[in-house]
Amino acid sequence: MTETNSTELIRLSAAQLAAKLAAREVTAVEVTQAHLDRIAAVDGGERGVNAFLHVNTEEALAVAAEVDAIRAAGGQAAEELHELAGVPIAVKDLIVTIGQPTTAGSKILEGWHSPYDATVVKKLRAAKMPILGKTNLDEFAMGSSTEHSAFGPTRNPWDLDRIPGGSGGGSAAAVAAFEAPLALGTDTGGSIRQPGAVTGTVGVKPTYGGVSRYGAIAMASSLDQIGPVSRTVLDSALLQQVIGGHDPHDSTSLPDPLGDLVAAARLGNVDGMKIGIIKELHGEGYQAGVENRFNESLELLKEAGAEIVEVSCPNFQYALGAYYLIMPSEASSNLAKFDGVRYGLRVLPEEPPLTIERVMGATRAAGFGDEVKRRIILGTYALSAGYYDAYYGSAQKVRTLIQHDFDAAFEKADVLISPTAPTTAFKLGEKLDDPLAMYLNDVATIPANMAGVPGLSLPGGLADEDGLPVGIQLLAPAREDARLYRVGAVLESLLEAKWGGPLLDKAPELASPVVEHVETFETQEAK
Protein backbone atom coordinates (compact mmCIF):
# COMPACT_ATOMS: atom_id res chain seq x y z
CA MET A 1 0.00 0.00 0.00
CA THR A 2 1.29 3.42 -0.93
CA GLU A 3 1.41 5.80 1.96
CA THR A 4 0.06 9.34 2.19
CA ASN A 5 0.08 11.58 5.21
CA SER A 6 -2.99 13.17 6.65
CA THR A 7 -2.07 16.68 5.52
CA GLU A 8 -1.75 15.49 1.97
CA LEU A 9 -5.00 13.48 2.15
CA ILE A 10 -7.09 16.53 2.97
CA ARG A 11 -5.70 18.40 -0.02
CA LEU A 12 -6.84 15.77 -2.49
CA SER A 13 -9.92 16.32 -4.58
CA ALA A 14 -12.95 14.08 -4.21
CA ALA A 15 -12.09 12.40 -7.52
CA GLN A 16 -8.55 11.73 -6.31
CA LEU A 17 -9.79 10.39 -2.99
CA ALA A 18 -12.28 8.18 -4.79
CA ALA A 19 -9.48 6.74 -6.94
CA LYS A 20 -7.27 6.06 -3.92
CA LEU A 21 -10.14 4.46 -2.04
CA ALA A 22 -11.03 2.27 -5.00
CA ALA A 23 -7.37 1.24 -5.35
CA ARG A 24 -7.33 0.52 -1.60
CA GLU A 25 -4.34 2.83 -1.16
CA VAL A 26 -6.15 4.48 1.68
CA THR A 27 -9.16 3.60 3.84
CA ALA A 28 -12.35 5.59 4.17
CA VAL A 29 -11.75 5.76 7.92
CA GLU A 30 -8.33 7.32 7.33
CA VAL A 31 -9.80 9.83 4.90
CA THR A 32 -12.68 10.69 7.21
CA GLN A 33 -10.47 10.88 10.28
CA ALA A 34 -8.05 13.18 8.43
CA HIS A 35 -10.86 15.61 7.75
CA LEU A 36 -12.24 15.34 11.27
CA ASP A 37 -8.74 16.11 12.55
CA ARG A 38 -8.52 19.09 10.26
CA ILE A 39 -11.87 20.36 11.54
CA ALA A 40 -10.65 19.93 15.11
CA ALA A 41 -7.51 21.86 14.29
CA VAL A 42 -8.81 24.83 12.34
CA ASP A 43 -12.52 25.23 12.89
CA GLY A 44 -12.92 26.07 16.58
CA GLY A 45 -11.60 28.74 18.88
CA GLU A 46 -11.37 32.52 18.75
CA ARG A 47 -9.76 32.64 15.33
CA GLY A 48 -11.24 29.41 14.01
CA VAL A 49 -12.92 29.20 10.62
CA ASN A 50 -16.24 28.31 12.32
CA ALA A 51 -17.49 26.56 9.21
CA PHE A 52 -19.22 23.82 11.22
CA LEU A 53 -22.21 24.17 13.52
CA HIS A 54 -22.16 20.46 14.29
CA VAL A 55 -19.51 17.80 13.73
CA ASN A 56 -20.85 14.33 13.12
CA THR A 57 -17.78 12.37 14.20
CA GLU A 58 -19.27 9.07 15.27
CA GLU A 59 -21.67 8.55 12.40
CA ALA A 60 -19.15 9.70 9.77
CA LEU A 61 -16.56 7.21 11.03
CA ALA A 62 -19.16 4.45 11.22
CA VAL A 63 -20.15 4.99 7.59
CA ALA A 64 -16.49 5.09 6.60
CA ALA A 65 -15.84 1.85 8.46
CA GLU A 66 -18.78 0.26 6.71
CA VAL A 67 -17.35 1.23 3.33
CA ASP A 68 -13.97 -0.16 4.33
CA ALA A 69 -15.54 -3.42 5.47
CA ILE A 70 -17.43 -3.81 2.20
CA ARG A 71 -14.30 -3.10 0.20
CA ALA A 72 -12.24 -5.50 2.30
CA ALA A 73 -14.83 -8.25 1.87
CA GLY A 74 -14.77 -7.78 -1.90
CA GLY A 75 -17.27 -9.43 -4.20
CA GLN A 76 -20.43 -7.96 -5.62
CA ALA A 77 -21.14 -5.61 -2.72
CA ALA A 78 -17.72 -4.04 -3.15
CA GLU A 79 -18.18 -3.71 -6.88
CA GLU A 80 -21.53 -2.06 -6.39
CA LEU A 81 -20.13 0.61 -4.09
CA HIS A 82 -20.72 4.10 -5.42
CA GLU A 83 -17.73 5.85 -6.95
CA LEU A 84 -17.79 8.38 -4.10
CA ALA A 85 -18.35 5.84 -1.33
CA GLY A 86 -16.15 6.78 1.60
CA VAL A 87 -15.52 10.31 0.34
CA PRO A 88 -16.66 12.57 3.15
CA ILE A 89 -18.92 15.57 2.71
CA ALA A 90 -20.24 18.52 4.72
CA VAL A 91 -23.90 19.56 4.57
CA LYS A 92 -25.24 23.09 4.84
CA ASP A 93 -27.31 23.32 7.99
CA LEU A 94 -30.37 24.36 6.01
CA ILE A 95 -30.73 20.76 4.86
CA VAL A 96 -32.43 18.40 7.31
CA THR A 97 -30.71 15.28 8.60
CA ILE A 98 -31.80 12.53 10.95
CA GLY A 99 -29.38 12.08 13.82
CA GLN A 100 -27.90 15.58 13.76
CA PRO A 101 -29.44 18.89 14.72
CA THR A 102 -30.64 21.19 11.94
CA THR A 103 -30.72 24.86 12.90
CA ALA A 104 -30.92 26.84 9.65
CA GLY A 105 -28.52 29.14 11.50
CA SER A 106 -31.40 30.32 13.67
CA LYS A 107 -32.15 30.40 17.38
CA ILE A 108 -35.72 29.45 16.53
CA LEU A 109 -34.62 25.93 15.58
CA GLU A 110 -31.82 25.51 18.12
CA GLY A 111 -31.86 21.93 19.39
CA TRP A 112 -34.39 20.71 16.84
CA HIS A 113 -33.78 17.30 15.29
CA SER A 114 -35.49 16.47 12.06
CA PRO A 115 -37.55 13.28 12.05
CA TYR A 116 -36.72 12.81 8.36
CA ASP A 117 -33.82 13.08 5.93
CA ALA A 118 -33.75 15.47 3.00
CA THR A 119 -33.81 13.64 -0.33
CA VAL A 120 -30.24 14.73 -1.07
CA VAL A 121 -29.14 13.38 2.30
CA LYS A 122 -30.81 10.06 1.53
CA LYS A 123 -28.80 10.00 -1.68
CA LEU A 124 -25.56 10.73 0.16
CA ARG A 125 -26.36 7.90 2.56
CA ALA A 126 -27.16 5.57 -0.34
CA ALA A 127 -23.78 6.42 -1.86
CA LYS A 128 -22.20 5.79 1.58
CA MET A 129 -20.56 9.18 1.76
CA PRO A 130 -19.68 9.96 5.40
CA ILE A 131 -21.37 13.18 6.50
CA LEU A 132 -18.81 15.20 8.44
CA GLY A 133 -21.31 17.63 9.89
CA LYS A 134 -23.52 20.64 9.30
CA THR A 135 -22.11 23.91 8.05
CA ASN A 136 -22.78 27.48 9.08
CA LEU A 137 -24.96 29.87 7.11
CA ASP A 138 -26.75 33.16 7.32
CA GLU A 139 -29.96 32.59 9.28
CA PHE A 140 -32.42 30.80 6.98
CA ALA A 141 -29.91 31.45 4.18
CA MET A 142 -30.67 35.18 4.29
CA GLY A 143 -27.43 37.00 3.68
CA SER A 144 -24.26 37.23 1.63
CA SER A 145 -21.66 36.99 4.38
CA THR A 146 -22.68 34.31 6.92
CA GLU A 147 -22.61 37.11 9.49
CA HIS A 148 -26.36 36.72 9.98
CA SER A 149 -25.89 33.29 11.53
CA ALA A 150 -27.25 33.15 15.06
CA PHE A 151 -24.16 31.09 15.93
CA GLY A 152 -21.45 33.54 14.93
CA PRO A 153 -19.88 34.29 11.55
CA THR A 154 -17.70 31.95 9.53
CA ARG A 155 -14.28 33.29 8.63
CA ASN A 156 -12.74 33.26 5.19
CA PRO A 157 -9.70 30.90 5.16
CA TRP A 158 -7.89 33.39 2.86
CA ASP A 159 -8.15 36.11 5.49
CA LEU A 160 -9.76 35.33 8.81
CA ASP A 161 -10.98 38.91 9.15
CA ARG A 162 -13.01 38.64 6.00
CA ILE A 163 -16.37 37.16 5.17
CA PRO A 164 -16.58 33.78 3.39
CA GLY A 165 -19.60 34.93 1.41
CA GLY A 166 -23.10 33.81 2.10
CA SER A 167 -25.39 32.40 2.79
CA GLY A 168 -23.36 29.24 2.31
CA GLY A 169 -20.15 30.61 3.81
CA GLY A 170 -19.81 27.55 6.02
CA SER A 171 -19.81 25.08 3.15
CA ALA A 172 -17.44 27.17 1.01
CA ALA A 173 -15.04 27.87 3.88
CA ALA A 174 -15.04 24.20 4.92
CA VAL A 175 -13.98 23.18 1.43
CA ALA A 176 -11.48 26.05 1.07
CA ALA A 177 -9.94 25.22 4.45
CA PHE A 178 -9.58 21.53 3.52
CA GLU A 179 -12.03 20.52 6.24
CA ALA A 180 -14.09 18.70 3.63
CA PRO A 181 -13.46 17.80 -0.03
CA LEU A 182 -17.12 18.35 -0.85
CA ALA A 183 -20.11 20.15 0.59
CA LEU A 184 -23.75 20.78 -0.15
CA GLY A 185 -25.05 24.30 -0.47
CA THR A 186 -28.28 25.99 -1.36
CA ASP A 187 -28.55 28.88 -3.78
CA THR A 188 -31.53 31.25 -3.81
CA GLY A 189 -29.79 34.33 -5.18
CA GLY A 190 -26.15 33.25 -5.23
CA SER A 191 -25.62 31.50 -1.88
CA ILE A 192 -23.50 28.76 -3.45
CA ARG A 193 -21.75 30.75 -6.17
CA GLN A 194 -20.82 33.94 -4.33
CA PRO A 195 -19.19 32.09 -1.38
CA GLY A 196 -17.40 29.98 -4.00
CA ALA A 197 -16.10 33.14 -5.64
CA VAL A 198 -14.76 34.76 -2.48
CA THR A 199 -13.17 31.57 -1.09
CA GLY A 200 -11.54 30.37 -4.32
CA THR A 201 -13.73 27.27 -4.59
CA VAL A 202 -16.19 25.87 -7.10
CA GLY A 203 -19.94 26.15 -6.55
CA VAL A 204 -22.80 25.18 -8.80
CA LYS A 205 -26.45 26.15 -8.79
CA PRO A 206 -28.07 23.46 -10.95
CA THR A 207 -31.08 24.09 -13.18
CA TYR A 208 -34.15 24.76 -11.02
CA GLY A 209 -35.65 21.34 -10.45
CA GLY A 210 -32.43 19.51 -11.24
CA VAL A 211 -31.94 18.57 -7.60
CA SER A 212 -34.79 17.83 -5.19
CA ARG A 213 -35.50 20.56 -2.67
CA TYR A 214 -37.27 18.14 -0.31
CA GLY A 215 -35.70 18.70 3.07
CA ALA A 216 -34.02 22.01 2.28
CA ILE A 217 -35.67 24.50 4.62
CA ALA A 218 -37.34 26.85 2.19
CA MET A 219 -36.49 30.51 1.94
CA ALA A 220 -37.99 31.28 -1.47
CA SER A 221 -39.41 28.14 -3.01
CA SER A 222 -39.38 29.31 -6.61
CA LEU A 223 -35.70 30.33 -6.39
CA ASP A 224 -34.08 27.85 -3.97
CA GLN A 225 -31.86 25.15 -5.36
CA ILE A 226 -29.48 22.70 -3.69
CA GLY A 227 -26.11 22.30 -5.37
CA PRO A 228 -22.51 21.13 -5.00
CA VAL A 229 -19.55 22.92 -3.44
CA SER A 230 -16.04 21.61 -4.17
CA ARG A 231 -12.49 22.54 -5.06
CA THR A 232 -12.62 21.28 -8.65
CA VAL A 233 -15.15 21.41 -11.46
CA LEU A 234 -15.04 17.63 -11.85
CA ASP A 235 -15.83 17.15 -8.15
CA SER A 236 -18.94 19.30 -8.45
CA ALA A 237 -20.03 17.25 -11.45
CA LEU A 238 -19.49 14.04 -9.48
CA LEU A 239 -21.55 15.40 -6.60
CA GLN A 240 -24.37 16.77 -8.74
CA GLN A 241 -24.60 13.36 -10.37
CA VAL A 242 -25.18 11.87 -6.90
CA ILE A 243 -27.80 14.34 -5.67
CA GLY A 244 -29.64 15.10 -8.93
CA GLY A 245 -32.68 13.54 -10.51
CA HIS A 246 -36.42 13.46 -10.14
CA ASP A 247 -37.93 13.17 -6.67
CA PRO A 248 -41.58 12.24 -6.23
CA HIS A 249 -41.54 14.34 -3.03
CA ASP A 250 -40.76 17.51 -4.99
CA SER A 251 -43.25 18.21 -7.74
CA THR A 252 -41.04 21.02 -9.05
CA SER A 253 -38.18 18.57 -9.66
CA LEU A 254 -37.55 17.81 -13.31
CA PRO A 255 -38.86 14.49 -14.57
CA ASP A 256 -35.80 13.68 -16.68
CA PRO A 257 -32.11 13.51 -15.69
CA LEU A 258 -29.75 16.21 -16.92
CA GLY A 259 -27.35 13.97 -18.80
CA ASP A 260 -23.83 12.83 -17.99
CA LEU A 261 -22.31 15.78 -16.17
CA VAL A 262 -19.16 13.89 -15.20
CA ALA A 263 -18.47 13.02 -18.81
CA ALA A 264 -18.96 16.68 -19.71
CA ALA A 265 -16.44 17.73 -17.05
CA ARG A 266 -13.97 15.13 -18.30
CA LEU A 267 -14.51 16.06 -21.96
CA GLY A 268 -13.43 19.67 -21.40
CA ASN A 269 -13.55 21.13 -24.87
CA VAL A 270 -14.61 24.63 -25.92
CA ASP A 271 -13.43 24.57 -29.50
CA GLY A 272 -16.04 26.32 -31.63
CA MET A 273 -18.29 27.14 -28.68
CA LYS A 274 -19.80 30.59 -28.46
CA ILE A 275 -19.32 32.20 -25.09
CA GLY A 276 -21.33 35.35 -24.42
CA ILE A 277 -20.19 38.23 -22.24
CA ILE A 278 -23.21 39.80 -20.58
CA LYS A 279 -22.79 43.51 -21.18
CA GLU A 280 -24.73 44.41 -18.04
CA LEU A 281 -22.77 42.15 -15.71
CA HIS A 282 -19.30 43.63 -15.69
CA GLY A 283 -17.56 46.98 -15.90
CA GLU A 284 -19.04 49.71 -13.79
CA GLY A 285 -19.52 48.70 -10.18
CA TYR A 286 -17.05 45.83 -10.45
CA GLN A 287 -13.72 45.95 -8.64
CA ALA A 288 -10.76 46.48 -11.01
CA GLY A 289 -9.05 43.27 -9.90
CA VAL A 290 -12.24 41.34 -10.54
CA GLU A 291 -12.54 42.86 -13.99
CA ASN A 292 -8.87 42.03 -14.80
CA ARG A 293 -9.22 38.38 -13.86
CA PHE A 294 -12.46 38.20 -15.82
CA ASN A 295 -10.77 39.54 -18.96
CA GLU A 296 -7.91 37.13 -18.48
CA SER A 297 -10.33 34.21 -18.46
CA LEU A 298 -11.91 35.46 -21.67
CA GLU A 299 -8.49 35.54 -23.32
CA LEU A 300 -7.74 31.97 -22.23
CA LEU A 301 -11.07 30.70 -23.57
CA LYS A 302 -10.47 32.49 -26.84
CA GLU A 303 -7.03 30.87 -27.13
CA ALA A 304 -8.63 27.49 -26.49
CA GLY A 305 -10.84 27.98 -29.53
CA ALA A 306 -14.01 29.53 -28.13
CA GLU A 307 -15.68 32.42 -29.87
CA ILE A 308 -16.35 35.29 -27.51
CA VAL A 309 -19.48 37.29 -28.30
CA GLU A 310 -21.24 40.08 -26.43
CA VAL A 311 -24.87 39.80 -25.44
CA SER A 312 -27.17 42.32 -23.81
CA CYS A 313 -29.68 41.51 -21.11
CA PRO A 314 -31.28 44.92 -20.56
CA ASN A 315 -33.79 43.70 -17.97
CA PHE A 316 -31.09 42.40 -15.64
CA GLN A 317 -30.97 45.90 -14.17
CA TYR A 318 -34.38 45.20 -12.61
CA ALA A 319 -33.45 41.74 -11.36
CA LEU A 320 -32.18 42.78 -7.96
CA GLY A 321 -35.29 44.87 -7.25
CA ALA A 322 -37.67 42.16 -8.40
CA TYR A 323 -35.70 39.56 -6.46
CA TYR A 324 -36.07 41.56 -3.27
CA LEU A 325 -39.86 41.43 -3.70
CA ILE A 326 -40.33 37.81 -4.75
CA MET A 327 -37.82 36.32 -2.33
CA PRO A 328 -39.17 38.06 0.81
CA SER A 329 -42.78 37.44 -0.29
CA GLU A 330 -42.22 33.71 -0.49
CA ALA A 331 -40.01 33.77 2.61
CA SER A 332 -42.67 35.56 4.67
CA SER A 333 -45.03 32.68 3.99
CA ASN A 334 -42.42 29.89 4.21
CA LEU A 335 -41.23 31.10 7.60
CA ALA A 336 -44.75 31.41 9.05
CA LYS A 337 -44.54 27.83 10.32
CA PHE A 338 -41.88 28.78 12.89
CA ASP A 339 -44.32 29.78 15.61
CA GLY A 340 -43.40 27.71 18.67
CA VAL A 341 -46.51 25.56 18.44
CA ARG A 342 -45.14 22.30 17.07
CA TYR A 343 -41.32 22.34 17.34
CA GLY A 344 -38.31 24.49 18.03
CA LEU A 345 -38.13 27.46 20.34
CA ARG A 346 -41.18 28.51 22.36
CA VAL A 347 -41.08 31.80 24.24
CA LEU A 348 -43.88 32.93 26.52
CA PRO A 349 -44.73 36.61 26.65
CA GLU A 350 -43.48 38.41 29.75
CA GLU A 351 -46.86 39.92 30.53
CA PRO A 352 -50.26 38.23 30.57
CA PRO A 353 -52.51 37.37 28.80
CA LEU A 354 -51.04 34.10 27.61
CA THR A 355 -52.85 33.80 24.29
CA ILE A 356 -51.70 31.79 21.30
CA GLU A 357 -51.13 34.95 19.26
CA ARG A 358 -48.89 36.37 21.96
CA VAL A 359 -46.91 33.14 22.33
CA MET A 360 -46.38 33.03 18.58
CA GLY A 361 -45.38 36.69 18.60
CA ALA A 362 -42.95 36.34 21.51
CA THR A 363 -41.40 33.22 19.95
CA ARG A 364 -40.85 34.86 16.61
CA ALA A 365 -39.59 38.10 18.19
CA ALA A 366 -36.99 36.20 20.21
CA GLY A 367 -36.19 33.47 17.69
CA PHE A 368 -35.60 35.41 14.48
CA GLY A 369 -32.68 37.74 13.82
CA ASP A 370 -32.90 41.20 12.28
CA GLU A 371 -32.30 40.21 8.65
CA VAL A 372 -34.99 37.54 8.81
CA LYS A 373 -37.44 39.98 10.37
CA ARG A 374 -36.54 42.57 7.76
CA ARG A 375 -37.40 40.16 4.94
CA ILE A 376 -40.59 38.87 6.59
CA ILE A 377 -41.81 42.45 6.99
CA LEU A 378 -40.86 43.29 3.39
CA GLY A 379 -42.60 40.20 2.04
CA THR A 380 -45.71 40.59 4.15
CA TYR A 381 -46.02 44.14 2.90
CA ALA A 382 -45.43 43.19 -0.74
CA LEU A 383 -48.21 40.59 -0.62
CA SER A 384 -50.73 42.81 1.17
CA ALA A 385 -54.06 43.62 -0.40
CA GLY A 386 -53.70 46.76 -2.47
CA TYR A 387 -49.94 46.34 -2.92
CA TYR A 388 -49.82 42.88 -4.45
CA ASP A 389 -50.11 43.96 -8.08
CA ALA A 390 -47.64 46.80 -7.76
CA TYR A 391 -45.01 44.73 -5.94
CA TYR A 392 -45.33 40.96 -6.27
CA GLY A 393 -47.22 41.21 -9.56
CA SER A 394 -44.71 43.58 -11.17
CA ALA A 395 -41.80 41.52 -9.89
CA GLN A 396 -43.23 38.44 -11.58
CA LYS A 397 -43.43 40.39 -14.83
CA VAL A 398 -39.79 41.37 -14.47
CA ARG A 399 -39.03 37.72 -13.95
CA THR A 400 -40.62 36.90 -17.28
CA LEU A 401 -38.60 39.66 -18.94
CA ILE A 402 -35.39 38.26 -17.47
CA GLN A 403 -36.28 34.86 -18.88
CA HIS A 404 -36.78 36.50 -22.28
CA ASP A 405 -33.39 38.17 -21.98
CA PHE A 406 -31.81 34.80 -21.30
CA ASP A 407 -33.67 33.21 -24.22
CA ALA A 408 -32.37 35.90 -26.57
CA ALA A 409 -28.86 35.66 -25.16
CA PHE A 410 -28.76 31.90 -25.61
CA GLU A 411 -29.73 32.34 -29.24
CA LYS A 412 -26.36 34.02 -29.66
CA ALA A 413 -24.22 32.08 -27.23
CA ASP A 414 -23.94 28.53 -25.91
CA VAL A 415 -22.79 29.69 -22.49
CA LEU A 416 -22.76 33.11 -20.84
CA ILE A 417 -19.93 34.42 -18.70
CA SER A 418 -19.55 37.11 -16.05
CA PRO A 419 -17.74 37.78 -12.80
CA THR A 420 -19.58 35.92 -10.01
CA ALA A 421 -19.49 38.83 -7.58
CA PRO A 422 -18.61 42.50 -8.07
CA THR A 423 -15.96 42.44 -5.36
CA THR A 424 -13.66 40.13 -3.48
CA ALA A 425 -14.37 39.22 0.15
CA PHE A 426 -15.08 42.25 2.28
CA LYS A 427 -14.19 42.65 5.94
CA LEU A 428 -16.37 41.11 8.64
CA GLY A 429 -18.77 43.78 9.87
CA GLU A 430 -18.10 46.08 6.94
CA LYS A 431 -21.55 45.87 5.39
CA LEU A 432 -23.53 44.53 8.31
CA ASP A 433 -25.33 47.82 8.90
CA ASP A 434 -25.95 48.50 5.24
CA PRO A 435 -28.40 45.90 3.91
CA LEU A 436 -28.51 47.46 0.46
CA ALA A 437 -24.73 47.27 0.00
CA MET A 438 -24.94 43.64 1.14
CA TYR A 439 -27.74 42.89 -1.34
CA LEU A 440 -25.64 44.31 -4.22
CA ASN A 441 -23.21 41.40 -3.82
CA ASP A 442 -25.75 39.19 -5.52
CA VAL A 443 -26.33 41.39 -8.55
CA ALA A 444 -24.61 38.97 -10.95
CA THR A 445 -25.92 35.76 -9.45
CA ILE A 446 -29.61 36.62 -9.01
CA PRO A 447 -30.66 36.55 -12.69
CA ALA A 448 -29.97 32.79 -12.90
CA ASN A 449 -32.31 32.11 -9.98
CA MET A 450 -34.98 34.36 -11.43
CA ALA A 451 -34.91 32.39 -14.68
CA GLY A 452 -34.20 28.94 -13.22
CA VAL A 453 -31.07 28.50 -15.36
CA PRO A 454 -27.92 26.79 -14.05
CA GLY A 455 -24.81 28.68 -12.98
CA LEU A 456 -21.31 27.68 -11.98
CA SER A 457 -18.67 29.73 -10.22
CA LEU A 458 -15.01 28.77 -10.40
CA PRO A 459 -11.83 30.46 -9.17
CA GLY A 460 -10.53 33.02 -11.68
CA GLY A 461 -7.40 34.03 -9.80
CA LEU A 462 -6.51 36.65 -7.23
CA ALA A 463 -7.37 40.34 -7.48
CA ASP A 464 -4.25 42.46 -7.93
CA GLU A 465 -5.19 45.04 -5.32
CA ASP A 466 -5.97 42.71 -2.38
CA GLY A 467 -4.70 39.25 -3.35
CA LEU A 468 -8.12 37.73 -2.70
CA PRO A 469 -9.95 35.21 -4.88
CA VAL A 470 -12.12 36.29 -7.77
CA GLY A 471 -14.95 34.13 -9.12
CA ILE A 472 -15.88 33.56 -12.74
CA GLN A 473 -19.52 32.68 -13.37
CA LEU A 474 -20.74 30.53 -16.25
CA LEU A 475 -24.45 30.36 -17.10
CA ALA A 476 -26.21 27.90 -19.40
CA PRO A 477 -29.76 27.39 -20.62
CA ALA A 478 -32.11 25.41 -18.39
CA ARG A 479 -31.29 21.66 -18.37
CA GLU A 480 -27.92 22.33 -20.03
CA ASP A 481 -25.87 22.00 -16.84
CA ALA A 482 -23.46 19.79 -18.78
CA ARG A 483 -22.27 22.84 -20.73
CA LEU A 484 -21.18 24.52 -17.49
CA TYR A 485 -19.03 21.56 -16.59
CA ARG A 486 -17.60 21.28 -20.07
CA VAL A 487 -16.55 24.92 -20.24
CA GLY A 488 -15.70 25.15 -16.55
CA ALA A 489 -13.31 22.21 -16.73
CA VAL A 490 -11.45 23.79 -19.67
CA LEU A 491 -11.13 27.17 -18.03
CA GLU A 492 -10.03 25.54 -14.77
CA SER A 493 -7.25 23.59 -16.44
CA LEU A 494 -6.06 26.62 -18.42
CA LEU A 495 -5.98 28.76 -15.29
CA GLU A 496 -4.26 26.11 -13.18
CA ALA A 497 -1.63 25.68 -15.88
CA LYS A 498 -1.05 29.41 -15.71
CA TRP A 499 -0.85 29.40 -11.89
CA GLY A 500 1.20 26.23 -11.73
CA GLY A 501 -1.38 24.47 -9.53
CA PRO A 502 -4.72 24.97 -7.83
CA LEU A 503 -5.48 28.50 -6.65
CA LEU A 504 -5.94 27.28 -3.09
CA ASP A 505 -2.22 26.39 -3.02
CA LYS A 506 -1.72 30.15 -2.72
CA ALA A 507 -3.97 30.42 0.34
CA PRO A 508 -2.21 31.07 3.64
CA GLU A 509 -1.59 28.15 5.97
CA LEU A 510 -4.09 27.82 8.77
CA ALA A 511 -3.15 26.29 12.10
CA SER A 512 -1.42 22.89 11.88
CA PRO A 513 -3.74 19.96 11.99
CA VAL A 514 -3.62 17.39 14.74
CA VAL A 515 -1.62 14.47 13.31
CA GLU A 516 -0.24 12.49 16.20
CA HIS A 517 -2.06 9.21 15.54
CA VAL A 518 -2.07 9.27 11.76
CA GLU A 519 0.63 7.30 9.96
CA THR A 520 2.61 8.86 7.17
CA PHE A 521 1.63 8.13 3.60
CA GLU A 522 3.10 9.01 0.26
CA THR A 523 0.98 10.87 -2.21
CA GLN A 524 0.64 9.78 -5.78
CA GLU A 525 0.72 12.90 -7.86
CA ALA A 526 -2.63 13.38 -9.59
CA LYS A 527 -2.55 13.87 -13.32
Partner 1 sequence: MSTDATLSFEEAMEKYDPVLGFEVHVELNTKTKMFSSAPNVFGDEPNTNVNEVDLGMPGVLPVVNKTAVESSIKIGLALNCKIAESCRFARKNYFYPDTPKNFQTSQYDEPIAYDGYLDIELEDGTVFRVEIERAHMEEDAGKLTHLGGSAGRIQGAEYSLVDYNRAGVPLVEIVTKPIEGAGSRAPELAKAYVAAVREIVKNLGVSDAKMERGNVRCDANVSLRPHGRERFGIRSETKNVNSLRAVEHAVRYEIQRHAAVLDSGEPVIQETRHWHEDTRTTTSGRAKSDADDYRYFPEPDLVPVVPSREWVEEIRQTLPEPPAERRKRLKQDWGYSDLEFRDVVNAGVLDEIEETITAGATASVARKWWMGEIVGRAKNADVDPGQLGVTPATIVELSKMVEAGKINNKMASAVLDGVLAGEGTPAEVVEKRGLAVVSDDGPLLEAIDAALAAQPDVAEKIRGGKVQAIGAIVGGVMKATRGQADAGRVRELILEKLGVTA
Which positions are catalytic? 92, 167, 191
CB of 282 to partner 1, least distance (A): 31
ω into 419 cis (within 30 of 0): no
Q: Which is nearer to partner 1, 4 or 225 (CB)?
A: 225
- Residue closer to partner 1, measured from CB, 57 or 222: 222
Q: CB of 51 within 8 A of CB of 135?
A: yes
Q: What backbone torsions phi and psi does residue 280 show, to the nearest 5 degrees? A: -80, -10
Q: In what order do the strands lie in the sheet with 131-135?
A: 52-55, 131-135, 89-92, 182-186, 226-230, 202-205, 455-462, 469-475, 415-419, 274-278, 307-311
Report how far residue 515's alpha carbon sits from residue 163's, in angstroms, rounded to the nearest whole number. Answer: 28
Residue (47 or 113) nearer to partner 1, CB: 113
Nearest distance in Å: CB 386, partner 1:
9
Count H helices and E strands in the chain, helices first.
Answer: 18, 11
Residues within the interface to partner 1 (CB under 8 A) = 95-96, 102, 104, 109, 112, 114-116, 118, 213-218, 220-222, 248-252, 329-330, 332-333, 336-339, 341-343, 356-357, 360, 380, 383-385, 388, 392
Contact (CB, 8 A) for 82 and 238: no
Q: How far is the CB of 470 from partner 1 (least distance, A)?
A: 33
Q: Write down the least CB distance from residue 221 to partner 1, Å.
A: 4
Residue 230 vs residues 123, 161, 175: alpha-carbon distances, Å: 17, 22, 6
**Closest Cα to residue 479, out of 452, 444, 447?**
452
Of the pair 249, 374, the CB lying nearest partner 1 is at: 249
Give the burial string for 377-397 (b: 16+ CB within 10 Å, else e). Answer: ebbbebbeeeeeeebbebbbe
Nearer Cβ to partner 1 (341/408):
341
Phi-psi region of 229 (alpha: psi -120 to 50; beta: other; left: phi over 0): beta
The nearer residue to partner 1, 343 or 499, going by C-beta atoms, is 343
Expressed in angstroms, the distance from the first to the final Cα of the chain is: 19
The Cα–Cα gap between 285 and 317 comes to 12
